[in-house]
């Protein structure tokens, strides 16, 4: 989609990347909060399964890192050069 009309979607591309970074940061916060409450109050108070939440935490952390790296390379580092 970005390559069909490069000039038209250039600004949109940056905003989509920002939204994806915000999405992954929000999901990581929710998973972290659920795991925190499970640790603090016990599994009776918060029925968050550890293995799926732990794997999701790793996956979303990886994607957050990847999108932030992409954003840095494409928009921040190119402006400095």
For residue range 55-76, what is the model confidence (pLDDT) as tens digits?
999 999 999 999 999 999 998 8
Which H/E stretch holds residue 22?
A: helix 6-41
Q: How many domains does the chain have?
A: 1
Classify residue 35 by burial, with Cβ atoms within 10 Å: 0-12, 13-18, 19+.
Answer: middle
**Is residue 21 included in any domain, yes or no?**
no
Provide the domain limits for residue 64: 50-81
**Is residue 41 included in any domain, yes or no?**
no
For residue range 6-48, what is the model confidence (pLDDT) as tens digits?
666 777 888 999 999 999 999 999 999 999 999 999 988 888 8
**Is residue 5 included in any domain, yes or no?**
no
Beta carbons of 46 and 37 less than 8 angstroms apart: yes
Whole-number pLDDT of residue 3 = 64
Q: How far apart are CA 53 and CA 35, in angstroms?
A: 8
């Amino acid at each position: 989609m970005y390559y069909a009309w490069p000039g038209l979607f250039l600004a949109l591309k940056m905003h989509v990347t920002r939204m994806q970074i915000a999405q992954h940061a929000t999901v990581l916060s929710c998973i972290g909060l659920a795991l925190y409450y499970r640790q603090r109050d016990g599994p009776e108070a918060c029925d968050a399964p550890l293995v799926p939440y732990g794997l999701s935490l790793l996956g979303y952390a990886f994607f957050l890192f990847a999108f932030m790296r992409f954003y840095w390379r494409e928009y921040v580092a190119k402006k400095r050069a």
